[in-house]
Amino acid sequence: MSETTDLILHATARQLAAWVRSGEHTSVEVTEAFLDRIDEVDSTVNAFISTNREAALAAARRVDERVAAGEELGPLAGVPIAVKDLLCWNESPTTAGSRILEGWVPPYDATIVQRLLDAGLVIIGKTNLDEFAMGSTGENSAYGATRNPWDSSRIPGGSGSGSAAALAAFEAPLTIGTDTGGSIRQPAALTGTVGVKPTYGGTSRFGVIAMASSLDQPGPCARNVGDAALLHEVICGHDPADSTSLDAPVPAVVEAAELADVAGMRIGIVRELSGEGFSADVRQRFEESVELLKAAGAEVVEVSCPNFGYALGAYYLIMPAEVSSNLSRYDAMRYGLRVGDDGSNGVEQVMRASRAAGFGDEVKRRIILGTYALSSGYYDAYYGSAQKVRTLVQRDFEAAFAECDVLVSPVTTTTAYPLGEKVDDPVAMYAGDLATIPSNLAGIPAGSVPCGLGASDGLPVGFHIMAPAMADDRVYRVGAALEKALEARWGMPLLAMIHDSDAAQEARA
Amino acid sequence: MALTKDDVARLAALARIDLTDTELEHLAPQIDLILESVASVTEAAGDDVPATSHPIPLSNVFRADEARPSFPAEAMLAGAPAVEDDKFRVPRILDEE
């Protein structure tokens, strides 16, 4: 690898955009560097389901022409980006990680994809994910498991496995994820990258293949807080094509990330999300981070959210219920896989055979669970009770935010575990999302920022920041302050240590 | 009450998914375990707690009732599993008898 290529691959998105604007490097040069990197490493990482070199280079050339013409460009113009393969893009197949949609090319672009293109970002490909975004490990994709770039025998987290792993493997400087119960934040934590779930309704879900509509929210994934903020401002904002889209101004997240100052802020530690259930490695890095924020001038208080203990259960009733409803559209009639249509079978038999052949185990498990939760006789007990818990969780957040500006916790219960470890134990796998789920039930913004490496295993740990609805800027302000304090201590970003064992050793101490 | 293999077969039929015997045997205890682990939810809230279906209050969204161009038929048919005479071709809906 040449020195220039190495410089490009490791640069921030902000820096890449500045180079493209100044003409120091062209967008074509930058885009080619990342496409070549994907060719070089993705057979191991498997972060991508598809790439589109032709469309990417055409988009990059258009940006370079605009630079040459002296046009004013947006803050991320010319920067490559990869998009979770759950978002429709008319230039490439959109599979949702499922066999049932293999090769399907959407007739339209998702609003987010359209906004990326309008802002001059260069889409290089579609990232791997757990099928229909169902899973916490990246192992449920019909296109093979994604591997963690820190240790390829381990999971990168899910469902946005590819979006996080692509960043950590330097295959893309920016990616888009979606978060239903933690699918942006959990893989960010396990790969040492940054991921933010905006306020529900802050980003459009139009053209995002639905899993659980009242919980799903797309958001930015990046290698540092500032880049995530720049991407946040590109993709957020009202969309008339999505009836749940918020018609309100986008919070000034770039300004907040640049401020990177917590002096005078009140930070609440959620008692129920900081002790039992979290590994010693995770707790240690979390506690150190809280101390750093305190040293930077924040006031730290402990708050209690007594109903969070029910959140996981409520989520695993509401989510599958919405899944069973949303996935009924895969009926083999208008698009997707069709099996058994040999003239001897009627429509129902074809549907049953097609869905059996097209869906993987985790998807079938959740559809059956959702069908049960919504069935007559159990609806009130399960689905109805879960919706009441949602009210209780929202009330807990309201009470907690009356006492502080943001809430913090670890993101995951452990660091990345070996592939295959929890495949046959769904309850254990689901429990890993303990800390991320409450914010999806309440629709509030939340993000994960890297806060160090586990002392015993040298794997990344994430720090979780939650803010009131429409106060996404606070997530960035605290995240950037912590990032600044930690990088000053380490002398480099966490991700720079990925293949430098001496630096990693020091960071673990 | 434990969920039996027959119960799961019935749910699979409602969800229009053929499951093999092995899948039914595998799924029944797993779903049972999941339901057991979420059972506490049923005791969390009393009758005085209203249910929330959505994280933000929803209001109906209207747009002007104006004709707008739609996708061309060929774009919509391009992803179809079977097409005949510019229409989606589907398996027979009614039984022969």
Supply the pLDDT for residue A402: 98
Q: Total structural domains in chain B?
A: 1
Q: For A384-400, how does the pLDDT look when each residue is reduced to its tens digit (9 = 90+)?
A: 999 999 999 999 999 99
Q: At what angle do helices A27-45 and A13-22 cross, to 10 degrees?
A: 150
Query: Percentage of chain A surpassing pLDDT 90?
Result: 93
Minimum mean pLDDT range among A231-240, A265-274, A350-359, B50-59: B50-59
Q: For A29-52, how does the pLDDT look when each residue is reduced to its tens digit (9 = 90+)?
A: 999 999 999 999 999 999 999 999
Q: What is the CATH number of domain A3-307+390-508?
A: 3.90.1300.10
Inter-chain touch B19–A385, beta carbons under 8 Å:
no
Residue B17: its chain A contacts at CB < 8 A? Answer: 352, 355-356, 359, 364, 367-368
Residues 27-46 of chain B whose Cβ lies under 8 A from any Cβ of chain A? 27, 30-31, 33-35, 37-42, 44-45
Within a domain: B14: yes
Write the Ramachandran bin of A159: left for phi over 0, alpha for psi from -120 to 50, otherwise beta: alpha
Distance of CA A1 to the CA centre of its chain: 29
CATH number of the domain bearing residue B21 = 1.10.20
Q: For A434-460, how does the pLDDT look when each residue is reduced to its tens digit (9 = 90+)?
A: 999 999 999 999 999 999 999 999 999
Within a domain: B82: no
Residue A429 forms contact with B (CB below 8 Å): no
- Which residues touch B65 (CB under 8 Å, ≥6 apart)? none
Q: For B69-81, how does the pLDDT look when each residue is reduced to its tens digit (9 = 90+)?
A: 988 999 999 999 9
Query: Percentage of chain A surpassing pLDDT 70?
Result: 100
Q: For A183-222, how does the pLDDT look when each residue is reduced to its tens digit (9 = 90+)?
A: 999 999 999 999 999 999 999 999 999 999 999 999 999 9
DSSP string computed for A242-277: -TT---SPPP-HHHHHHH---TT-EEEEEGGGSSTT
Q: Which value does ipTM take for this structure?
A: 0.95
Within a domain: B93: no
Inter-chain touch B17–A441, beta carbons under 8 Å:
no
Euclidean distance between CA atoms B40 and A385, whole angstroms: 10
Supply the pLDDT for residue B63: 83
Inter-chain touch B75–A333, beta carbons under 8 Å:
no
Supply the pLDDT for residue A432: 85
Residue B68 forms contact with A (CB below 8 Å): no
Within a domain: B87: no
Q: Which residue of B has its CA nearest to A333?
A: B90
Euclidean distance between CA atoms A192 and A21, whole angstroms: 29
Long-range contacts of A492-496 (CB under 8 A, 24+ apart): A493/A223, A493/A224, A494/A192, A494/A450, A494/A452, A494/A453, A494/A460, A495/A167, A495/A168, A495/A192, A495/A193, A495/A223, A495/A450, A496/A10
Euclidean distance between CA atoms A318 and A129, whole angstroms: 21
Q: Which residues of A265-292 are buried (b: 16+ CB within 10 A; e: fewer)?
A: bebbbbebbbeebbbebbbbbbeebbeb
Q: What is the mean pLDDT of chain A?
A: 96
- At B23, the amino acid letter reads E
Confidence bin at A328 (pLDDT 50/70/90): very high
Residue ranges covered by each domain of chain A: 3-307+390-508
Euclidean distance between CA atoms A34 and A57, whole angstroms: 11
- The residue whose two tokens read 């979780």 is A464
- Kindly tell me if the per-residue pLDDT of B97 is higher than 70: no
Which residues is A464 bridged to in the sheet? A409, A448
Supply the pLDDT for residue B96: 58
- Kindly tell me if the per-residue pLDDT of A423 is higher than 80: yes
Are A347 and B92 spatial neighbours (Cβ–Cβ below 8 Å)?
yes
Domain enclosing residue B36, as ranges? 1-43
Q: For B26-64, how does the pLDDT look when each residue is reduced to its tens digit (9 = 90+)?
A: 999 999 999 998 889 988 988 899 999 888 887 788 888
- Which entry of A183, A245, A274, A439 is annotated as an active-site residue? A183
Euclidean distance between CA atoms B4 and B19, whole angstroms: 14
Q: For A239-263, how does the pLDDT look when each residue is reduced to its tens digit (9 = 90+)?
A: 999 999 999 999 999 999 999 999 9
Euclidean distance between CA atoms B56 and A215, whole angstroms: 11
Supply the pLDDT for residue A159: 97
Assign B85 to helix, strand or coil: coil
Euclidean distance between CA atoms A429 and A136, whole angstroms: 7
Within a domain: B70: no
Within a domain: B38: yes
Confirm whether pTM is higher than 0.80: yes
Inter-chain touch B17–A316, beta carbons under 8 Å:
no
Arithmetic mean of pLDDT, A233-238: 98
- The residue whose two tokens read 């090769």 is A103
